[in-house]
Each structure stands twice: as C-alpha cells, then as structure tokens.
Amino acid sequence: MFSQNPVFIPGPTNIPEELRRAISNPSIDHRSDTFVEMFRPALEGVKRILKTTSGEAFIFPSTGTGAWEATITNLLSPGDTILAARHGMFSHRWIDLCQRHGMNVEIIKEEWGKGAPVDAFAAAFAADKAHAIKAVLVTHNETATGVRSDVAAVRKALDASNHPALLFVDGVSSIASMDFRMDEWGVDAAVTGSQKGFMLPSGLAILGISQKAMQITAEAKSYRCFFDFKDMQKTNATGGFPYTPPANLIRGLDTAIKMLEGEGLENVFARHHRIAEGVRRAVAAWNMKLCAKDPSLYSETVSAILTPEGFNATDIVTHAAKKYNVAFGVGLGDVAGKVFRIGHLGSLTDVMALSGIAAAEMTMADLGLDIRLGSGVAAAQDYYRGHSAMAQKDAA
Ligand SMILES: *Cc1c(COP(=O)(O)O)cnc(C)c1O
C-alpha cells in the first residue's frame, strides 16, 4: 500500500518532488549532446560533493555494493592483503566481498557500536614493515549501528608510519549528508550510491578515485569488465559510457547536486545534525539508549536504538509497517532483534522527523513498552524550537 508517509529507513531515502520530476523523462540518445550536457556537470558535481579537485569521479549503473566491487577489482589483485575492522553489517559485507575476490583480509573484530579502531590500525601499519597491507577499508558511517568513524585519524595513522596502503572509504550513508573530505583526508577510493544522501532511487554507484589509486590500476590483476575504470575514463572523456548509461538517473543526480549546493553543503550537514539531535533527544526521553557507545560516534544519518532485554526490536518495525504504514529499519547481523533504526537522511525536515518520532511512540506503546506518548516528540520539539533552520536563516 502506498502512502504519503515519509520513510524512516536509512536508504532508500525520501525522494523530493523535484527529483521525481527530474528522473521522469522521455528517452534521449545517449550519444547526443543532450546527454553530454547533463552528464558532464553531474560528474563535476560529484567531485565537489566529495571535496576532491585532484581525484577522478566515476558513475556506474549499480549500487553501493557495486561501487565496492569496482574499487576492489580495479585496484587490487587476488591474494593481496587488506586491513579492515568488522563492527557492523556493512563493514562485514565489504570484508566478505573482498574475501570472495580472493583477497586476504586481516580482520580486526571491534564491538558493534564502536567505530573503526584507529589505535589497532596504527599498530598494524607500524608492524607491517614489509608493506604487505595494500589497502585499509573504513566504513565512514556504519548504517547498521549508527556509528561514525574518524577517517582523518586513519589517514594520520597511515602517514605516521609512512605506510603506502590505499585508504578505501565506504561513504554510502554519509556522503552528501555528513562532512566528507576526500582530498583533505587522503582518501584513495570513496564510494556511495544514489539512494542515500543524493535522495534518488537506487541505481547509481558513485565513486571518487585518487590519482595515486588510478596509477595502480595497471598492476591490479583482478578480473573486471563492466566496472573497468580505464574503459569508463576513456569513454567519459568524450562524454559517453562504455555501454548504455542510466540517463534518467544521471539527470536526477545533476539535479540533486544542484539542490544540495543550492541549500549549501554546510547547511545540509547542519540540517542532518539538527534532525538527528532531535531524534536523539527523543530516544533519551524514552529512557532508551543508542547502540553507538559514545556521543563522538553518533551518526547524523541513522540512529540504532537498543530495546529492552527480552523484547524483539524487529516487532517495532513489523508493527509500524502494518498498523501505521511507516517504515523503520530493522536490526542487522549481530544486533538483529536488539535494535530498531530510525533513518534520518536525505530529504527530511524537522516536521517530518517529528512524525516519525510520533509513529515510533505509538508503535512502542502498542507493543507494551513503557513509553509515555508525546515524551519523545516533546523532547524533539524543544530542540527543534531552539534550533530552527528558518530562525537561524533570519538571524544570519
Ligand atoms: C546502504 C549501504 C551499503 C550498500 O549499498 P547498496 O546500494 O545497497 O548496495 C553499503 N554501505 C553502507 C554503509 C550503506 O549504508
């Protein structure tokens, strides 16, 4: 059943009307100037969103997972050693993908609810005198646990031991919603998809690749064809694709970037912070805790909320869908049944967030949890009243 209710899952996100219109277009000839005119600015726009001037941007018809696969197969060979932390479902899946490509992943197990363990990474780089580690994987925002990791600190650790490993960052649920600085953080591969911060349907894998990484594609022995960076780079140079491009989504991406830049990236980040903070105030008012262990780790795009011992958190998601036609995120992997997630990224306002908080309260009250109706809503209202975007704009 369709409704006008916003979704509160951490992707796909709500699609603004303007983007729905932008992707609803008749077919065009993808070898025409019309395509080039929308593709070029989209590619340049991706670089600005990633904050890279020296890196290459790539767009493939795929999803975030495809962007991971493209990164791995273009830049590494089977047998290569990769360093990664497993601290959530998405870091786990990326590790799995590397293993299936025959790579040797040195896994650091970290508690779910914590960030990438920078100290353990630093120790691994320092111990690796022979430079066996070819790449380190960092999940910037663990969507399963609502935890952000410190990418800049991983770069610092690499530099401190003069380690040449490439820094690969999964920014699928952070890029275009949270501060991300590809060049400044020395990121060699930044990956995302269209259905998160860019507010579009799924269908695009979006990547930023450093020149250092581009130079080693020739050495990387993994098989690749559809995702070949060099083929893509060559055809992109003349405005085309090695195959039929997803023209409507690319038009949408171009429009999404204009919307994000129209709002101002800093304002987009501030809006995500404000909305997230309201959700966190609500969680505190419910006497509940986040899966994220420390405020410094709090994600601005998704909150994973721990439910009481003995309660199946997935019931919240099922009940909210059935009774109120509202979508929340289930717990994944190690935290399945222990958390439910409120996604708060992409096209969202304070007012929309309040509706999600209210729906969560009705659901939890229905299921017998000790929730006073309105308590979380009131806590979020208090915060939003004091931090209104409109008021801030007027003051500026
Ligand atoms: C959504 C997500 C992915 C997976 O992306 P798909 O587009 O579903 O392939 C990977 N990593 C993170 C952190 C995500 O949030």
Domain boundaries, the chain: 17-262, 264-395
**Model confidence band, residue 2 (pLDDT cutoffs 50, 70, 90):** confident
The residue whose CB lies within 8 Å of the most ligand 1 atoms, and thus the one to mutate among 69, 145, 169, 172, is 172
Average pLDDT over residues 156-171: 98
Q: Which residue from 13, 173, 207, 332 has its CB within 8 A of the most atoms of ligand 1, so it is best to mutate?
A: 173
Buried b (16+ CB within 10 A) or exposed e, 181-204: ebeebbbbbbbbbbbbbbbbbebb
391 has pLDDT over 90: no
Q: Does the pLDDT at position 394 exceed 70?
A: no
Strand partners, 309: none
pLDDT of residue 238: 93
CA 212 to each of CA 79, 157, 233: distance values in angstroms, whole numbers, following the listed order: 21, 18, 15
Q: How far is the CA of 330 from the centre of ligand 1 (A)?
A: 15
Q: Measured from the CA of 196, which atom of ligand 1 is nearest? A: 1
User: For residue 173, which atom of ligand 1 is closest to its CA?
Assistant: 15
Give the Cα-Cα-Cα angle 89, 286, 315 (nearest 5 degrees): 50
Tokens of 168: 């690969």
C-alpha 349 – ligand 1 centre gap (Å): 23
Closest ligand 1 atom, CA of 67?
Answer: 9
Q: What is the rounded (10 degree) CA torsion for 166, 92, 292, 329? A: 120
Mean pLDDT of all residues in 86-93: 97
- pLDDT value, residue 368: 98
The string of pLDDT tens digits covering residues 249-292 is 999 999 999 999 999 999 999 999 999 999 999 999 999 999 99
Distance 68 CA to ligand 1 centre (A): 9
Determine the Cα–Cα distance for residues 373 and 361; give it in Å rounded to an integer.
Answer: 6
**Percentage of residues of the chain with pLDDT beyond 90:** 96
Q: Smallest Cα–Cα separation from 283: which of 360, 338, 185, 178?
A: 360
Measured from the Cα of 65, ligand 1's closest atom is 9
Q: Report the run of H or E that residue 126 belongs to, with start and end.
A: helix 118-127
Residue 3's pLDDT band (boundaries 50, 70, 90)? confident
Fold classified for 264-395: Aspartate Aminotransferase, domain 1 (3.90.1150)
Q: Give how far Cα 210 sits from Cα of 26, 52, 189, 227, 230, Å.
A: 35, 9, 6, 16, 13
Average pLDDT, rounded, for the chain: 97
User: Which residue ranges have their beta carbon within 6 Å of ligand 1?
Assistant: 11, 63-65, 90, 139, 141, 143, 170, 172-173, 193, 202
Query: In DSSP terms, which residues pair with 193 in a beta bridge?
Result: 205
Q: Report pLDDT digits (tens) over 299-350.
A: 999 999 999 999 999 999 999 999 999 999 999 999 999 999 999 999 999 9
- The pLDDT value recorded for residue 257 is 98
Please count the residues of the chain: 396
CA 207 to ligand 1 center in whole angstroms: 13
Q: 111 C-alpha to center of ligand 1: Å?
A: 20
CA distances from 271 to 77, 143, 201 (A): 41, 18, 21
- Return the CATH number of the domain spanning residue range 17-262: 3.40.640.10
Q: How far is the CA of 302 from the centre of ligand 1 (A)?
A: 13
Check residue 389 and give its pLDDT: 73
pLDDT above 70 (res 25):
yes
For the chain, give the percent of residues with pLDDT over 70: 98
Mean pLDDT, residues 15-42: 95
Look up residue 6 and give its DSSP letter. Answer: P
Atom from ligand 1 closest to the CA of residue 302: 15
Question: What average pLDDT score do residues 171-193 get?
Answer: 98
Above 90 in pLDDT, residue 31?
A: yes
Which residues, at least 6 apart from 387, have a Cβ–Cβ distance to it below 8 Å?
Answer: 274, 277
Distance between Cα 172 and ligand 1 center (Å)? 5
Chain segment 128-151, per-residue pLDDT in tens: 999 999 999 999 999 999 999 999
Residue 388: pLDDT band with limits 50, 70, 90: confident
| Residues 6+ away with beta carbon under 8 Å from 138 | 85, 116, 149, 151, 154, 167, 168, 169, 170
Residue among 365, 386, 387 at smallest CA distance from 376? 365
What is the 92 CA–ligand 1 centroid distance (Å)? 11
- DSSP secondary structure of 328-390: BEEP-GGGTTTEEEEE--SS--HHHHHHHHHHHHHHHHHTT----TTHHHHHHHHHHHHT-HH
pTM (2 d.p.): 0.97
Mutate to test the pocket of ligand 1, among 65, 140, 169, 302 (most ligand atoms within 8 A of CB): 65
177 neighbors 268 (Cβ within 8 angstroms): yes
Q: How confident is the model at residue 372 (pLDDT cuts 50, 70, 90)?
A: very high
pLDDT reported for residue 88: 97
